């Protein structure tokens, strides 16, 4: 599938990025509506934590899907949205972490230090967020110019490490159906496989 003038007009439209941005905020709007309508169950605070964590990982995996989709479908305009979707992953990840610090432990540093030593799912989650932080901080064009394209691309490979840590965090937490982190792991595995095959083909070309 190749780029066509019609599809190009859609990707390059001045309305495309605002539309994608609003779509990325839709899960948060739906969460607020469910909260307002008391539709989050008995323990709605825990539901909020799981919901924001879920969407952080979904957006992170989606951002990693952009490049393979661009190559496989021939839709180069998709690359315009990768950075924005990655930033949404960090945003939802920060909301997820904020819930822990503010609601779960109420900024109690003693509990936080203890969790960092004994709760492996917490360690994995904080690692995922820590790996995403420099990506968010260097997501603007000036950072690309300052670092240089190659170094910037090398740094942003940390997104795969963040996704791995996120999947492990989800699996170790054990508060969702077992198949959910397995699905996420399968998506990540497919992305890593594609990247490996593409790298080998580039070296053999």
Return d(Cα 56, Cα 96) in angstroms, integer: 8
Beta strand ranges found along the chain (DSSP E): none
pLDDT digits (tens, 9 = 90+) for 134-164: 999 998 888 888 888 788 888 889 999 999 9
Tokens of 117: 């030593």
CA-atom Rg of the chain in angstroms: 19
Stated pTM of the model: 0.90
- For residue 187, the model assigns a pLDDT of 96
What sign has the CA pseudo-torsion 68, 195, 187, 166?
A: negative
Contact in structure between 165 and 124 (CB atoms under 8 Å):
yes
CA atoms within 13 Å, Cβ hemisphere of 174 = 4
- For residue 151, the model assigns a pLDDT of 86
User: Which three-class secondary structure state does DSSP give residue 70?
Assistant: helix
Mean pLDDT in order along the chain per 10 residues (205 residues): 60 81 95 91 88 96 94 85 95 95 90 90 94 92 84 89 95 76 94 92 81
- For residue 5, the model assigns a pLDDT of 59
Instruction: Give the burial class of 47: count Cβ atoms within 10 A of its Cβ; 0-12 exposed, 13-18 middle, 19 or more buried.
Output: middle
- For residue 152, the model assigns a pLDDT of 85
């Amino acid at each position: 599938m190749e780029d066509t003038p019609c599809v190009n007009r859609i990707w390059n439209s001045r309305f495309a990025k605002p539309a994608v941005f609003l779509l990325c905020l839709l899960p948060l709007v739906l969460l607020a509506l469910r909260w307002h309508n008391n539709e989050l169950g008995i323990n709605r605070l825990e539901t909020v934590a799981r919901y924001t964590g879920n969407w952080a990982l979904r957006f992170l995996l989606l951002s990693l899907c952009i490049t393979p989709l661009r190559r496989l479908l021939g839709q180069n305009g998709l690359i315009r949205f990768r950075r924005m979707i990655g930033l949404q992953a960090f945003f939802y990840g920060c909301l997820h972490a904020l819930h822990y610090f503010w609601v779960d432990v109420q900024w109690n540093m003693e509990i936080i230090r203890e969790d960092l030593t004994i709760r492996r799912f917490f360690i994995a989650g904080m690692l995922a967020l820590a790996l995403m932080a420099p990506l968010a901080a260097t997501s603007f064009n000036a950072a690309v110019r300052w670092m240089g394209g190659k170094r910037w691309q090398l740094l942003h490979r940390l997104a795969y490490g963040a996704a791995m840590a996120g999947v492990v965090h989800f699996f170790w937490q054990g508060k969702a159906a077992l198949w959910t982190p397995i699905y996420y792991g399968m998506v990540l595995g497919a992305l890593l496989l594609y990247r490996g095959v593409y790298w080998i083909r580039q070296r053999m070309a």
